[in-house]
Structure 1
Amino acid sequence: MHKSRILIVDDDIGVVKSVRANLQAREWDTLVAMDGEEALDVIGREQPDLVILDITMPRMDGFEVCRQVREWSRVPIIMLSARRDVEEKVKCLNIGADDYVTKPFGVNELTARVKAVLRRTKESGIEPTASSFTSGDFSINFVERRVTIQDEEIKLTPTEYNLLQELVLGANRVFSHSTLLGRVWGPEYASEREYLHVFVGRLRKEIEPDPAHPQYIVTVPGVGYKFQSAS
């Protein structure tokens, strides 16, 4: 059975040792990078299944690492920060992170987040009854987890794909915020609306001809979102 490999990126050796020991105790393999430049090298060379990335590091901070990684990789990223404000969390999600954990954190909290993110890389909610779906220029192949616009493939992170699939499988149905959060992220995220808001924005940038005036992922004020099918 494949053991997930998790890269820990932090310049605090104490944090690295603690996180590494706890991840290994749960039978995950670990890799370590002590700064942003080393992290980019390890991600490109080792292709880990998940990256735990601290924001505050010398030379290249976590924000820049995340931005650069997202130019060529969809690897899930959990960002660590000492700041608790919502603005910081939204910034992390906007640049491509999959989750955000505030320092200091408990071992169980980080482990739960790791499990949730890894689960989302392998699962995608309910099983489709058809192998594909097309609406106008948009097409999704559920078997290959492949999305195209005008026959051009769109690269999505696992969480982005799972959210899109959930909406497409219920095309023209309105989903509440809590329903989408529960199905895609898990019940523990049911009140974390900023996650949904940011990921919907990320999807619109990828699939909409005009993200400011979406034709596929439509907001239903006061309720949630729906995928509007042309067919």
Structure 2
Amino acid sequence: MSPEPVRRRLLVVEDDPVINQALSDRLVAEGYDVVRAWDGPGAVAVFGEQAPDLVVLDVMLPGYDGHEVCRRIQAERPVPVIMLTARAEEADVLVGLGVGADDYVTKPFRMRELVARISALLRRVERAGELAGRRPLELGELRIDQAGRRVWRAGEELHLTPTEFDLLACLAAEPGAVVGRDRLMAQVWGWPGATGTRTVDSHVKGLRAKIGADLVRTVHGVGYALDVEAVR
């Protein structure tokens, strides 16, 4: 008899009671355990008490906003975070990436799309167990531990979100080779056939801010490459 699949616990943080309830009901129907919060302080408290596997987090919250909530929970324990926002300006997205968000969904959103993004993000995090036997990848002063999902440059550990780590690992698998945006969307986000230029570009900016702008080379109109000359 096969073991029961592990039920992942999600924290939904949304101050609009209608959206909070609808989203929670849909996620329960999808097979997740769901815990909820309606404001910033409550979100941090529930996170500490319930140890969720992923957080769906509204940006505009009473108490303190979603960016502050994200910063606080990531300081406590790294966790995948999807932010819900009424605005998707690049500056807002970069602020979210800077405090540890992995993905952004703009309101109004389709439930099906949000569920698909949650599933894809959880799958990416679970890949760590599949890489347990791999040796760390050494590229000059850059060291990537795929099993532990840790990165160092020149001996200093860099703290990446799950998406940033997967983006770097994808580029590092073929150092110097150009990886197109469509391929990054398929391999990193798990959305084959999707067009996500803005999503990819925003996350590359966040990655560059942490590992150094010199390491990721832009090939305009195509994609990105890990600059092997820069990491020597």
Q: TM-score, normalised by structure 2?
A: 0.84
Partner residue in 1 for 2:25: 21
Aligned residues: 225
**Distance in 1 between residues matched to 2:136 and 2:45, nearest whole Å:** 36
Contact 1:94 1:198 in 2 (8 A): no
**Distance in 2 between residues matched to 1:84 and 1:200, nearest whole Å:** 16
Amino acid in structure 1 at the alignment position of 2:67:
F
5+ long unaligned stretches in structure 2? none
- CA separation of 1:128 and 1:16: change in aligned 2, threshold 3 A: closer
1:189 is displaced (CA, Å) by 7.1
Matches within 5 A, 1:1-231: 1-83=5-87, 88-89=92-93, 91-123=95-127, 131-187=135-191, 190-208=194-212, 211=213, 214=214, 216-230=215-229
Query: Which contiguous aligned blocks of 4+ residues in structure 1 show a shift greater than 6 angstroms?
Result: 126-129
**Distance in 2 between residues matched to 1:131 and 1:45, nearest whole Å:** 35
1:137 is displaced (CA, Å) by 1.5
1:165-189, Cα deviation, whole Å (9 max, x unpaired): 1111111111112211221112357
**Distance in 2 between residues matched to 1:104 and 1:6, nearest whole Å:** 20
- CA separation of 1:28 and 1:223: change in aligned 2, threshold 3 A: same
Which deviates more, 89-98 or 8-17? 89-98
Q: TM-score, normalised by structure 1?
A: 0.84
**Distance in 2 between residues matched to 1:148 and 1:57, nearest whole Å:** 34
5+ long unaligned stretches in structure 1? none
**Distance in 2 between residues matched to 1:173 and 1:143, nearest whole Å:** 23
- Name the SS for the 2:35 alignment partner: strand
Amino acid in structure 1 at the alignment position of 2:190:
G
Amino acid in structure 1 at the alignment position of 2:228:
S
1:143 is displaced (CA, Å) by 2.8
Which deviates more, 86-95 or 36-45? 86-95
Contact 2:134 2:147 in 1 (8 A): no
Amino acid in structure 2 at the alignment position of 1:190:
A
1:207 is displaced (CA, Å) by 1.9
Amino acid in structure 2 at the alignment position of 1:185:
W
1:94 is displaced (CA, Å) by 4.8
**Distance in 1 between residues matched to 2:137 and 2:78, nearest whole Å:** 23
Amino acid in structure 1 at the alignment position of 2:20:
V
1:49 is displaced (CA, Å) by 0.9
1:128 is displaced (CA, Å) by 11
Which deviates more, 192-201 or 142-151? 142-151
Which deviates more, 148-157 or 173-182? 148-157
Contact 2:54 2:80 in 1 (8 A): yes
**Distance in 2 between residues matched to 1:90 and 1:155, nearest whole Å:** 16
Counting aligned pairs with the same residue, the percent is: 37
